[in-house]
Amino acid sequence: MHLDVTSEAEWVEAVGTAVNRYGKLDILVNNAGMVLRKGIEDTSEADWDRIMAVNAKGVFLGTKHAIPAMRRAGGGSIVNISSISGMVAIGPPAYIASKGAVRLFTKVTAVQHAQDHIRCNSVHPGGVDTPMRQEGLADLSPGEHDERLRRVPMGRVGTTSEIAYGVLYLASDESSFVTGSELVIDGGYIAQ
């Protein structure tokens, strides 16, 4: 179903639909995100509010409305998609701030809801071959693109499947003792 992650009413409807359709809700992946490629001085207040609404408020609202349904189901797993930009200062300022918020919100959710048998973890992708990344590379010369790849120890960008398998692990019972953790999937970029 269509979901505007910035709308609390749409989250209420989405969670209700999932429970009605499947009998319970035990997995939530907060994946919606956007980037704004502007420096601090070029970022307007409206720009800041929009990226925070999608990247941080959306995670908060989804989590807030999934928790009661997960509690009724006997537990669950929440996986929040952050970024390596949520761990180190790589990328545009508003994006970095929003992804850092997701990282720490994940930890507080994990701590506050462990007794409810609800786990919460974050995934921190590096460069992944997506339309959002391609848009960001459009203004780079081939030499600049090659230089970025040279900074990745594995020498390439990731695939969406590689990120999805990390999410699958965190959503599954195979990670039943994992909560409040950060899964970095970046080809070794921030290990340097």
Q: Which of 22, 95, 165, 189 is catalytic?
A: 95
Distance of CA 158 to the CA centre of its chain: 16
Torsion of CA 60, 169, 103, 38, to 10 degrees: -90
Q: How far apart are CA 121 and CA 119, in angstroms?
A: 7
Residues in CB range of 89: below 8 A, 6 or more apart: 96
Catalytic (active site) residue 22: no
Residue positions annotated with a catalytic role: 95
